[in-house]
Chain A
């Protein structure tokens, strides 16, 4: 064994990553002995951009933070702004919000199932999971008009209604999907080739889950009973109690089981919501300017707890919007869990938290020869101007 450290870089561009992130794994043979992560390749400055857009425009901007869990971003924002304005959305709107959330959770978890299977080298499961996911996408498109950024939320309510046609379509869809998910559960529990890649791999103990502050399915797979839909009900979740799916073992298999069981729970909730949809308006009237104040709003995204901090100075634009996505909370667990595992397990451990890189990139730091440095907004602006000036000079010369 040489004294020199052998580092395998993964990213920013790598087939295992669908978004840019940079990981450095120090390996001895095939065993990982050290891991480092560097995020921030897909920083888009959305938080800053909210400060120069109206309250209404921001709902659409924030929805574009994530391409998978877009609805929960708009939902968390709308709930926060409604709280600031002292307006409450009508009951029917609240149920539709929860309904779209559950549909979104299903398509997100099916997407994850496919990605995780692909990382393990089980492409057949990948193809099947994504084929089934298409049904949910269809249902969402029928309901809201969009496949990805549904824009179901508006400030004070929702913009789309659930008709009898939608109800029939969705009931048909969840009936066929429930069989498929049962089948995937049996595959995940009994397929020996898959089990040898998931059983006992990437085990997160209950203590680690608590101390690292992981959230969502990752925490629940390690026995942490935590789900905002139950702990701090929002939208209509107080009327439709959620059974929290928990597993104890904390390994990758547990994460498969938790997510698959959550889909079955979503199916139960969707059927219940469609049966008990209250009649009434879809929107409450919102003022154009929101009175000064600050608030936080939390919702359970498919990946875990999504946190919004919103501050208003009384104008028609927010003073500050701060977002913390669940990936940021879960990222530390990847670094801790990687050490001691085989290099081959790393993509699965990484995929196990269902990472969403561009959602969690939000730091304003620049790597300079003097080391990392936090820049003020004016400095960032100057840096940008200088950067493009240098580039133009280089292109000109």
Chain B
């Protein structure tokens, strides 16, 4: 592969611009699904694109008391981290652009960088709502991160490799979902926690703290954060589909599996009431982590036997 095609693959397709567009389309599908479940019409297909266009056109302001440098660089770092993470993933059913031993762990940590950036952005914005929001973002990060990582490493344990392509090959014949259903459920729920999707949206609960950590952002900064979140949504769905749903072999396979996952998340969104941040934390530590450890114990016993 020459430099030009590699560059095109990173910037345009399947990573880069295509990933962002994919994220916006999935965002629309999510909003539309939830709207239909709530007996509403929902937005038209171009609404997320229109939102982004509007945000990029808007004036970029820095609030009083904010740290100028961090306030403006954090959105860029967040988006860069997510776009980098996507390079290790079988986006759109195509083989990952980069693959090496341990890329699974790198991916998970790059995705966490997004959450860290949002938390930090809240801290440096200098508003009361953003500070409370930042505290909640970081609390939630510590709550779901351990179960999330353990849930993603469950399939790795079976394949005895931490390399995504190898795990997919090893698990292509049998869906891990069948043998590790607990891990699957926890992976999906922690992804919702990571993306701050309802009911785990305490960090941005609008009726309490306006928009949480990102309250002071508007214009391009907010657009970058939102794009990073959409890209993280697609990356997370791809990751779970690749690990639990028997890998991703083709674009059709990719669409089918990720959309089913998206439908599950939209349903959870529609039927559940928002958890308070202390309830979220206790849910993950009391149930998520313990169930995950039990699942691991079972896998290890099965492998040993």
Contacts and interface: CB of A to CB of B under 8 A. Distances in A.
B60 interface: no
A396 to B, nearest CB: 29
A347 B40 CA distance: 24
B202 A15 contact: no
A390 interface: no
Interface string A1-21: 000001111000011100000
Interface size class of A (residues with CB under 8 A): 20 to 34
Interface string A165-197: 000000000000000000000000001011011
A344 B208 contact: yes
B174 to A, nearest CB: 34
A128 interface: yes
B138 to A, nearest CB: 13
Interface size class of B (residues with CB under 8 A): 20 to 34
B270 A124 contact: yes
Contact of A197 (B39, B40, B206, B274): B274
A121 B273 contact: yes
Interface string A252-292: 00000000000000000000000000000000000000000
Contact of B128 (A6, A119, A193): A6
Contact of A127 (B38, B208, B278): B38
Given A8-B128, A15-B210, A118-B207, A128 B276 contact: no
Nearest to A125: B273
A121 B279 contact: no
For A27, A117, A118, A344, the residue with the greatest tally of chain B CB atoms inside 10 Å of its CB is A344
B211 to A, nearest CB: 8
Interface in B24-71: 37-40
A143 interface: no
A48 interface: no
A30 interface: yes
Given A124-B38, A127-B39, A127-B40, A347 B207 contact: yes
A7 B128 contact: yes
A133 B90 CA distance: 48
B277 interface: yes
A128 B39 contact: yes
Contacts of A30: 132, 135, 277-278
B198 interface: yes
B40 A14 contact: no
A310 interface: no
Contact of A16 (B132, B135, B208): B208
A128 B270 CA distance: 12
B254 interface: no
Contacts of B132: 8, 27, 30, 343
Contacts, number: 76
B201 interface: yes
Contacts of B275: 193, 196
Contact of A120 (B128, B206, B271, B274): B274
A347 B208 CA distance: 6
A118 to B, nearest CB: 7
B128 A121 contact: no
B109 to A, nearest CB: 28
Contacts of A191: 273
B110 to A, nearest CB: 29
Interface string A78-121: 00000000000000000000000000000000000000011111
Contacts of B199: 121, 193
Contact of B209 (A8, A120, A123): A8
Contacts of B40: 127
Contact of B276 (A118, A124, A345): A345
A257 B278 CA distance: 26
A131 interface: yes
B284 interface: no
A122 interface: yes
A15 B207 contact: yes
A344 B209 CA distance: 9
Contacts of A344: 202, 205, 208, 276-277
Interface string B176-214: 000000000000000000000011011001111110000
B276 A123 contact: no
A181 to B, nearest CB: 17
B208 A122 contact: no
B244 interface: no
Given A8-B129, A342-B276, A344-B276, A121 B201 contact: yes
Contact of B271 (A29, A118, A124, A342): A124
B38 A121 contact: no
A346 interface: yes
Contacts of A15: 206-207, 210
A347 B202 CA distance: 13
Contacts of A121: 198-199, 201, 205, 207, 273-274
Contact of B207 (A9, A16, A196): A16
17 contacts: A6-B128, A8-B128, A8-B132, A8-B209, A16-B207, A30-B277, A30-B278, A123-B38, A127-B38, A128-B39, A131-B39, A194-B273, A196-B276, A196-B279, A343-B132, A344-B277, A347-B207
Interface of A: 6-9, 14-16, 27, 29-30, 117-124, 127-128, 131, 191, 193-194, 196-197, 342-347
Report the 4 A-B pairs with minimum CB-CB distance, sorted nearest first: A121-B274, A122-B273, A16-B207, A127-B38
